[in-house]
Amino acid sequence: MTSFWRASAAGRAGVAGWLPAVATALVLLIAWEVIVRAFEVQRWLLPAPTVILGELIDSFGLLARHAGTTLVEIVFGFAVSVFIGISLASGIVWSRAVERSVYPIIIASQTVPIFTLAPLLIIWVGTDIMSKVIVVVLFTFFPIVISLVTGLRSVDREMIDMFRTLGASPSQTFRKLMVPTALPNFFAGMKVAAVVSVIGAVIGEWVGASAGLGWLMKLSGPQFQTARVFAAIVVLSVLAMGLFAAVVILEKWALRNYPATASQLTGTGES
């Protein structure tokens, strides 16, 4: 019974934590609606929130179909990024040679505007899902690598010495000490990657695709279907928030046995 009341209290605290954000969003939406109505702004220029809501309802099937395509691209690209990020970060921390040969290239890769590479990917691999997955990977692998490397290197030197004193091998020290210590940083990078993965998918679809929300936005803009463009943006935002929430849930499960942080103890942490 005690655990039930604790869970209920935690749930109420989590809901209460979102109230300021919800209230702010409602105020902005109401102000948007009033301004558009008061100044009689044309729908093709800036539709009111109620018009966008109507478009969401009217085009629900169309938006859902293209959202499914975009979501598949995001999930595949994100999964590949996690695999690449873990592999690269582990190699960088484990081997000085890998660090010196790969780390500078990883950093330099972020100086190239990915939007300029998208047309080349269309030429090299075509307009199928693979080109969009690659763009998502290019957007998302960097924060995962950097955050995981930082986490793996944040292990207390005295703890490493203690493991060595107890006879632990380098691989055991890595698996049982360094990896658990790096998990909070790893999930921080995954949360960033989850959000920007949506941007990568949209850019890939914008450059070359025949389906997806990015393609739908590209097609609707020149036809002055502004409400549909905004509706697609709303769906993309929902996808990004859903992916972020999924990572948060996975993080809480993976770190369920970790000591509570100061923000969690005071109720100011993430809900």
Q: Are residues 150 and 222 in the same domain?
A: yes
Q: In this structure, is residue 271 part of a structural domain? A: no
Higher pLDDT, 259 or 269: 259
- What is the domain extent for residue 35? 1-40
Mean of all residue pLDDT scores within the chain: 85
- For the four alpha carbons of 157, 160, 166 and 169, in that order, the dihedral sign comes to negative
pLDDT score of 4: 47
pLDDT score of 40: 85
Q: Are residues 31 and 124 in the same domain?
A: no
Q: Are residues 52 and 24 in the same domain?
A: no
Q: Are residues 36 and 74 in the same domain?
A: no
Average pLDDT on 8-28 reads 73
Q: Are residues 153 and 180 in the same domain?
A: yes
Average pLDDT on 241-249 reads 94
Residue 78 predicted with pLDDT over 80: yes
Residue 239 predicted with pLDDT over 90: yes
For the CA atoms of 245, 248, 253, 257, what is the dihedral angle to 10 degrees?
A: -160
pLDDT score of 268: 46
pLDDT score of 260: 59
Q: Are residues 239 and 107 in the same domain?
A: yes
pLDDT score of 227: 93
Q: Are residues 98 and 35 in the same domain?
A: no
* Domain count of the fold of the chain: 2
Q: Are residues 14 and 126 in the same domain?
A: no
Alpha helices by DSSP H, listed for 110-225, are 114-125, 129-152, 157-165, 170-173, 179-207, 213-220
Q: Are residues 229 and 173 in the same domain?
A: yes
